[in-house]
Amino acid sequence: MVLVLLLAGCTTTNTTNTPATPGRWQPRPGTAWQWQLSGRVDTSVQVPVYDIDGYENSAAVVERLHADGRKVICYINAGAWEDFRSDQKAFPAAVLGKGNGWDGERWLDIRRLDVLRPIMAERMDMCREKGFDAVEPDLLDGYANKTGFPLTAADQLAYNRMIADLAHERGLAVGLKNDLEQIPQLVGDFDFAVNEQCAEYHECASLTPFVKARKAVFHVEYEVSTGKFCPTAERLGLDSMLKRLSLDAWRRAC
């Protein structure tokens, strides 16, 4: 975790509650969730939504969660190349930038929509074929980081809208990961938000446009105790929990 809106300079604010396409899932505020990206997925957590790694989990895992009445989000990395993924050779060297602080990962030149669109389309196809209901495309805020490329806010808007369109073309819901500064421009393009550490950095109010549009905000903290962030999260309508940075099965929800 996008064509008509690909105009690079578009900054139109869209805070309306655009209805989801019939058949596409639309998570609402107040939806509990589990986020597990490492280890074998523990399917016993009693929540209606799971967010799991799209590559590391089979269609059978998704089917098992569906059988228990859960919706399942497909985690993919949309903003950085990873040397451990099966499609890592599909990325030409020209689009690989600086490391992003995680082993084996490098920022992508998101200006190259011509190169990245077919690669990301195949990743979305994988999510759909495994039966996922939605996509969490990570690292949708490269323009705000030291990527090795002169990325602009307009570049990021164009890329993020492309990602949203790819998901919607496949009947998948899609979440905006972080990228708080562009929420006013992107809330109409995405079906929910996924946020890390807005309480730690005193940014949670920035997610209000999603809640006002009746779109869920799935939120985690790593360093702040539940006693400190849960009252704010509950007041703002966020669906929040404390997780370990490893994103294993452990969780402590508000």
CA distance 79 to 190: 16
Residue 203 identity (one-letter amino acid)? E
Name the CA dihedral angle for 151, 154, 156, 159, rounded to a multiple of 10 degrees: -120
Pair of tokens at residue 73: 């989000």
Stated pTM of the model = 0.91
Does the structure show a pLDDT above 80 at 8?
no
User: Which band of pLDDT confidence, cut at 50, 70 and 90, is reported for residue 23?
Assistant: confident
Pair of tokens at residue 108: 């992508």
pLDDT over 90, % of the chain: 91
Q: Residue 53 has what DSSP assignment?
A: E
User: Which band of pLDDT confidence, cut at 50, 70 and 90, is reported for residue 6?
Assistant: very low
Helices (H) and strands (E) in the chain, counts: 6, 12
Of the candidates 149, 58, 70, 160, the one whose C-alpha atom is nearest the C-alpha of residue 113 is 160
Whether CATH 3.20.20.70 fits 33-253? yes
Does the structure show a pLDDT above 70 at 210?
yes
pLDDT tens per residue, range 113-170: 999 999 999 999 999 999 999 999 999 999 999 999 999 999 999 999 999 999 999 9
Of the candidates 132, 124, 181, the one whose C-alpha atom is nearest the C-alpha of residue 1 is 124
Does the structure show a pLDDT above 60 at 3?
no
Beta-bridged to residue 161, according to DSSP, are none
Pair of tokens at residue 126: 């994988």
User: Which band of pLDDT confidence, cut at 50, 70 and 90, is reported for residue 21?
Assistant: low
Residue 219 identity (one-letter amino acid)? H
**Mean pLDDT (the chain, rounded):** 92
Beta-bridged to residue 195, according to DSSP, are 219
Domain boundaries, the chain: 33-253
pLDDT at residue 116 in the model? 98
Pair of tokens at residue 70: 């859960």
CA distance 229 to 170: 36
User: Which band of pLDDT confidence, cut at 50, 70 and 90, is reported for residue 22?
Assistant: low
pLDDT tens per residue, range 42-84: 999 999 999 999 999 999 999 999 999 999 999 999 999 999 9
Transcribe 170-183 into DSSP letters.
TT-EEEEES-GGGH
- 82 and 140 in contact (C-beta within 8 Å)? no
Of the candidates 74, 77, 24, 18, the one whose C-alpha atom is nearest the C-alpha of residue 49 is 74
Does the structure show a pLDDT above 60 at 90?
yes
Does the structure show a pLDDT above 80 at 18?
no
